[in-house]
Structure 1
Amino acid sequence: MQEDTGRKSPKYPLSIRILHWLRAVIILGLIWSGWYMTSLPDSTPIAKFEFFYPNHKQFGVLAWLLAVLHLLIRWQKRRVLPQTPDGLTGWERMLSHAVHRLIMTLTLLIPIFGYSMSSSFTQSDGVPFFFFGHLPELLPKNDEAFALFQALHEYGAYLLLALIVLHVAGAAKHRLQDKGGETDVLSRML
């Protein structure tokens, strides 16, 4: 498939489709692991503090990097991206754009809140990133700032999950009601 011909395509470029699904898996895994690890008792320090927390942090950084890469590729390939279907009603078009923009915004902000939370926590052991070691902690240790970033990280994740459910519901609605029609946009991302 040609990715940059200067013409609109019925599908998203392969690079964007791969990033979309990879980010979806990572983000859903992060939301699940966030719930699970915070529910673990402190009496399970190996599972909680040596497995889940470090992996949640490093996959959060990865999710942020993939979101930045996704935005860069979208900008680079903006001339060939499929347009919003004309068959959508005004409110569907508005909701679709808002949900997509909010999902992208939150996939950038939530990891920053998580990093800020870890960086400002007085007992933090830092933010690891796979084989690259720990990221520098740029914020001063401050448990009040930690509490703010913790709330932003947590509530942002709940909002992101709600938007993901709305996104999936919209794609499913158009898939089931408009299969093969102009507003059946799921095939663009497959």
Structure 2
Amino acid sequence: MNAAHSPGATRDPGGLGNAAAPRFALPLIVLHWLIALGIIAMLGIGLYMVGLPKGLPFKSTVINFHKSLGMTVFLLVLIRIMARMAYGRPPLPPMRAWQRAAASITQGLLYVGMVAMPLTGYLGSSFNKYGTKFWGLALPQWGWDDAHLRHVFFTIHGVIAWVMIGLIVLHFAGAMKHQLIDRDGLVRRMFP
């Protein structure tokens, strides 16, 4: 047990945690926050655009922006996965086994969602006549105009979106528990 968690150790009330606590490497921190902002934007735009009536002039602009931003976030996620393998992660503070398991499962599912969501969106777009443009550049279309397959992939895409919202809430709630209740410096790992 380290000094910060030994009996009688001084806590850091109101702070971000122990300033000496190990942190993620700066590239991982930057990628975490860029991806987090991108995903939150994507979810907001996605929920907004599905409610737009068909034939609305700017709907295709919103959809194309959603696709381009989604592919950008997907590329950042792939870079983050490689960076995580290269840099590793700092050790977790002492916590109960169920908390460690819950954090591991939540993070694992977030990674699965961050990969599956853009792939299902891209595949859904591949089964229509419009395809996907990445900031104006047409990407390869892996399918043909097929309403049934498009519906299948977009349904999976939508389900993953709601699962991701739940996982983000759990991830945030866990971080706030560590910050406000445990005050164990866990949140500090994700700040430069």
Same-fold status (TM-score > 0.5): yes
- The answer on 1:119 being equivalent to 2:126 is yes
CA distance in 2, matches of 1:127, 1:140: 12
1:141 to partner: Cα distance: 2.6
Q: Please name the residue that 1:171 is paired with.
A: 175
The equivalent residue for 2:186 is 185
Local SS of the residue matching 1:88: coil
C-alpha root-mean-square deviation of aligned residues, in Å?
A: 1.2
Moved over 4 A (4+): none
Q: Which has the larger Rg?
A: 2
| Count of matched residue pairs | 171
Query: Structure 2: how far apart are the matches of 1:76 and 1:63?
Result: 20
- How many angstroms apart in 1 are the aligned matches of 2:53 and 2:148? 23
Structure 2 residue ranges without an equivalent (≥5): 1-20
Give the gaps of 5 or more residues in structure 1. Answer: 1-8
* % identity of equivalent residues: 30
C-alpha separation between the residues in 2 aligned to 1:141 and 1:125?
A: 9
- Higher RCO, 1 vs 2 (CA within 8 Å, ≥6 residues apart): 2
Give 1:140 shift.
Answer: 2.9
- Answering whether residue 69 of structure 2 is matched by residue 68 of structure 1, we say no
Distance, in Å, in 1 between the alignment partners of 2:177 and 2:122 is 36
User: CA deviation digits over 1:91-147, x for unaligned, max 9?
Assistant: 1000000111110111011000000011012xx42211125x111101233211111
CA distance in 1, matches of 2:47, 2:146: 24
Is residue 144 of structure 1 aligned with residue 151 of structure 2? no
Task: Output the TM-score relative to the length of structure 1.
Answer: 0.86
Taking the TM superposition and a 5 Å limit, the aligned residue runs for 1:15-164 are: 15-45=27-57, 47-49=58-60, 51-78=61-88, 81-85=89-93, 87-121=94-128, 124-130=129-135, 133-164=137-168
Query: C-alpha distance in 1, partners of 2:75/2:55?
Result: 33
